[in-house]
Amino acid sequence: MKNESDTIVAIATPPGRGGVGIVRVSGSNSRLIGEKFFKAKSLSFEHGKMFFGKYSGSVEDTGYLVFFKSPFSYTGEDTVEFHLHGSPFILKSVISDIVESGLARLAGPGEFTKRALFNGKVNLIEAEAINTVISAENSYQAKVLSSLSGKLSDYILSLKSKLVSSIAFLEAQIEYPEEEETENALNDTIPLVEESVNSLKKALNYYEKSRFLFRGVKVVIAGNPNVGKSSLLNAIAGFERAIVTDIPGTTTDSIEVEIEFDGINFVFVDTAGIRKSEGKIEKLGIEKTYKQLEEADLILYLFDPLQLSAEKENFNLPEGFDKFTDKVLKVLNKVDLKDIPYFEGIKISAKENRGIDGLLNKIGSYFKNRDISENFLFSDRQYFALKEALSILEDFLDYAKGDFFPEVGASFLSHAIEVLEGVVGEITTDDILDSVFGNFCLGK
Amino acid sequence: MVEFDVVVIGAGHAGCEAGYATAKLGYKTCLLTINLDVVGQMSCNPAIGGLAKGHIVREIDALGGLMAKIIDKTGIQFRVLNKSRGPAVQSPRAQADKVMYRIEMRKTLEETENLFLIQDIAQEIVVKNAKVEGVMLESGNFIKCQKVIVSTGTFLGGKIFIGDKCYPAGRTNEIPSLTLADNLKDLGFKLTRFKTGTPARVHRDSIDFSKMERQDGDEPPFFFSFDPPERKVEQVPCYLTYTNEKTHEIIFKNIHRSSLFSGLIQGVGPRYCPSIEDKLKKFPDRERHQVFLEPESRFTVEYYVNGVSTSLPVEVQYEYLRTIKGLENVEILRPGYAIEYFSIDPLTLKVSLESKEIEGLYFAGQINGTSGYEEAAGQGLIAGINAALSLRGEEPVVLGRDQAYIGVMIDDLITKGVDEPYRMFTSRSEYRLLLDHYTADKRLMPIGHRVGLVSDERYAKMLKKYETIEKYCKEVLPLSLKKVLTEGFFKVFSEIDKGKTPTFEKLLKRPDISFEKIKPYLKEDYNTSYFIEVETTVKYKGYVDRELKRVKKTKNLEKIKIPENFNYNISGLSREVREKLERVKPQNLAQASRIPGVTPASISIIYLALTKKKR
């Protein structure tokens, strides 16, 4: 069990060599750690002030110390930051000095933000945004993200208030059966719910179009066996302008390569071969492959000119691909061996490293040109919560089509609200009553 | 000096239930009243039940309390509201005969062993070492006791307002309780001023009923109690009429003379039961407001003019009432008035309704910031039960939010506090579908029985009832329509597609079909007296499961108990949140999460601190 009041330490600047490197310490021992390892002329630990001096532990380096007094720091706890030279060696030594002193332990991933959240310095959505920014390792993503957290809170609040007033109609009808003005509750409720449904659908769709920003682009390479899928993967991994970040071990049916290209993170996945001769992909029984295709943001479908029997051959996709057509990019491989002039997709030779540049550029622009300005979701958790709310509201509309009990309808709606508020915070049934009595004149 | 186990201060709806419960459970109880002739008096409208309130009355009955029994014996009109909606939001309501109600209540109490109705005024609750010792009476008598239940209603520091007139009173012409208010302040209770109001009572023969809409009761009447009386009720109708522009004009012209708007009244009134002045101010564009004429008793000529409670001067009351259709020649017997009274902050109470600070001191009813007879009675019963259980050395009864409206109400009171008089609504429950009043017996009678307020015989009868219901659901519902219904049904309901409704269950699932409608066509062996419960099972099937799933989530948080002496001085909790938690002292994380202003993040911190302590 982690003790929430113990002191944690971590390097706060991005990994790698940089001008300045920051080590951040948060918790009750922060000041003690500062006193122990930093020598300055007048180290008074005044809040927010930078003290010039010298770090001295197992390494020595000149730099600054900044102290933030609780609760005015990022985490809400006493915080000390060492601003030193950005050498990984120095920073790592500082960390191990501090951890070895027993005054602090290494912070877990996102733990500073978690403390900020627990201390009420940020709300859940902001925390999520910050964490996404942190894990978004490049500037393009970070830039987009920073503006979203406020938008989401606003959206949830406005949706919630719409639903609360839609419930209010039903509640008034239930609680005051004898009042004349409560008669047409359902007629007032349905349009509000329909509006909410449409708005949720839009929001989800925006996210689906934009989520590559937050979790990277998943590109699945598909095609018949021996069309050169692995060669393409290798070519991408070896491409000079791509920064390869990770190549996990081979799994039974897929190999992945993660690269950063043009400011976007890509994961390329090589799937098991799909045999066209056997027709539908379901028949292949490789559920995993199908799942990969479903999750893909983009599918590269590879054709091998040597496998094509000249004129008759067209470049249709196998049957099961119907539902993916709008995210498929057709690629003709092995053009060094045989070119097919009328092929309209991208032509490459993975083996010879030909056309890889063009392929990546094409993929990059495919995503960069997307209009993502309307999106305001930035985590799958938010996405699935909204999706759940949508499905409950659709159930409601479905239910309202038949004969209708207002109390059952209200139960659907309050469930949807509950789910939505999980994204931001909480609501009590009092909100609903307030709404009832704000809008209706009722009394006993 | 005399000695009792329990003293109950005030014999209104809360006090009667409380005193009955402690006495019935074997403890010598003194039920104090300022006026022995008005015990269990209905100070405001002559009706019991209605939405959510009717639910509470049914719950009181299941637990073994009195209100349902008394109204069943004395009611003069019975109706089930919301009959066209599902069972969860249907609710019984009865017009009471006010005179008979209080006579019957007094009689029942006087026949209860261990219970003594005594006319006197409590002057001081004597407390030593944070524990109740007894009650000093104005007569000079001192009662030594272990438990005190305070249920003073509108009497604590009560003050009546009519126009520019105002005088101390607990009800019209009844003396208020004044010294006790100071005593409670001395004991450390912060008193808040609340306000409520009542309309004029008018003479029956001055009303022209022919100009109004008549509203009759249901035949046969639906009674509140599990074992209703064998009684033929001659039901008395109510009448409906409306205010009009003329009425509104007069009220607007004189609104400055209303004690409410002249600044005389400081107390906070209930939004849900606004005076006619309030209604007009808030909704100036409405053309008319409903007015409902209710008989007060078979033995008097008084009618209650529901919908126009007021604190306007009497002459203005005459003037505006006489603009209303049917009331053109109305004679006022008692004017409407507003009343201000003291209530305590219910956040200072435990879930048992005992004070957190003073052992043996319980509070119930309007003094806890609620309004309504039913709300008061529900609390009175729980306070009584818990005082008795404490004397027995047992844990208090705590009703869950998914178990009873009374549970919802008490949890709301002690978790959220009140800033206006609290009235029950079905929407206050997040699990409304689970709390239909028809099954209050199933949910609560086991508790009433365990405690000792429900006899073995009654309890066995309840178990038998649900056995029958279960059997019916299992054996009859899956049958084909032909097996259950006679030919006559298929003729009358020819639109029903037999192919699409292969079973009786499928038929009942339709909202347009109820047992009541098809009863004449049921083959005799398939008749049951528990139609509605069977219907509920069918109609809500699926939806109830959804709610149960939601309950489960909260239940997990409920399992994480917070010790009474828990130290909220944890880093990460803001001062504001900490103060709230320290005031409420929630029993578990679920309750903590319901405190307004306590964020999900704070809950996580407390959770961490709690689990850390365990290790």
pLDDT tens per residue across span B72-84: 999 999 999 998 8
CATH of domain B201-339: 2.40.30.260
Quick one: pLDDT at residue A127? 61
State pLDDT tens for residues B575-599.
888 999 999 999 998 899 889 888 7
Alpha-helical (H) ranges within A285-405 are 287-295, 356-368, 380-401
Q: What gap in Å lies between CA B259 and CA B277, rounded to an integer?
A: 10
pLDDT digits (tens, 9 = 90+) for B294-345: 999 999 999 999 999 999 999 999 999 999 999 999 999 999 999 999 999 9
Question: What span, in angstroms and rounded, lies between the C-alpha atoms of B89 and B460?
Answer: 27
Contact B511 A403 (CB under 8 A): yes
**8 Å CB contact of A429 and B608:** no
Compare CB distances from B547 to A405, A411, A437 and report the shortest one's residue.
Answer: A411
pLDDT of residue A209: 82
pLDDT at residue A253 greater than cutoff 70: no
- How distant, in Å, are the alpha carbons of A9, A408, B2, B383 from that of B137? 67, 52, 11, 22
B559-614 belongs to CATH 1.10.150.570: yes
pLDDT band at B399 (very low <50, low <70, confident <90, very high): very high
What is the residue whose two structure tokens read 């559920």?
A287
**Chain B CA closest to residue A417:** B430
ipTM of the modeled complex? 0.83
Find out whether B299 and B147 touch, Cβ atoms under 8 Å. no
- Rounded CA gap, B106 and B103, in Å? 5
Q: What does the pLDDT look like over B241-286, one tens digit per residue?
A: 999 999 999 999 999 999 888 888 888 888 777 899 988 988 888 8
- Residue B596 tokens read as 């307004």
Gap from A107 CA to chain B (nearest CA, Å): 17
Rounded Cα–Cα distance for residues B462 and A399 (Å): 34
Count of helix runs (H) and strand runs (E) in chain A: 15, 14
Q: How confident is the model at residue A436 (pLDDT cuts 50, 70, 90)?
A: very low
Per-residue pLDDT of A176-231, as tens digits, reads 877 766 667 888 899 999 999 999 999 998 888 887 776 778 899 988 878 888 88
HSE, side-chain direction, 13 A CA sphere, residue B38: 12
Pairwise CB contact (< 8 Å): B426 & A174: yes
Question: Are A236 and A360 a contacting pair, CB within 8 Å?
Answer: yes
Do the Cβ atoms of A118 and B605 come within 8 Å? yes
| B559 in Cβ contact with B549 (< 8 Å) | no
| Architecture category of domain B465-544 in CATH | Orthogonal Bundle (1.10)
User: By mean pLDDT, which of B95-104, B188-197, B489-498, B575-584 is the weakest?
Assistant: B489-498
Domains of chain A with bracketed CATH: 8-122 (3.30.1360.120), 146-209+378-439 (1.20.120.430), 214-368 (3.40.50.300)
> Which of the listed ranges A36-45, A360-369, B409-418 does the model predict with the highest average pLDDT?
B409-418
pLDDT of residue B553: 73
Q: Which helix (H) or strand (E) holds B341?
A: strand B337-344
Beta-carbon contacts of B106 under 8 Å, excluding residues fewer than 6 positions away, are B39, B40, B117
Average pLDDT, chain B: 92
**Structure confidence at residue A16 as a pLDDT band (50, 70, 90):** low
pLDDT at B451 over 50: yes
The nearest CA of chain B is from the CA of A162 a distance in Å of 17
C-alpha dist (Å) from residue B122 to A151, B158, B530:
59, 15, 47
The whole-number pLDDT of residue B117 equals 97
Every domain of chain B with CATH number 1.10.150.570 lies at: 559-614
The pLDDT assigned to A240 comes to 62
Which residues of A are less than 8 Å from B430 in CB distance?
414, 429
CA distance B13 to B151: 9
* Residue B203 pLDDT: 97
Q: Which of A232-236, B296-300, B367-371, B373-377 has the lowest mean pLDDT?
A: A232-236
Q: Which residues of B touch A124 (CB under 8 A)?
A: 600-601
Which pLDDT score, from 0 to 100, does residue A110 have? 67
Distance CA B184, CA B186 (A): 5
> Strand, coil or helix: what is B130?
coil
pLDDT at A284 over 60: no
| Tokens read off for B467 | 């056995």
B154 with B339: CB under 8 angstroms?
A: yes
Q: What is the pLDDT of residue B492?
A: 86
User: In the predicted model, is pLDDT for residue A242 greater than 80?
Assistant: no
pLDDT interval class at A128 (50, 70, 90): low
* pLDDT tops 70 at residue A14: no
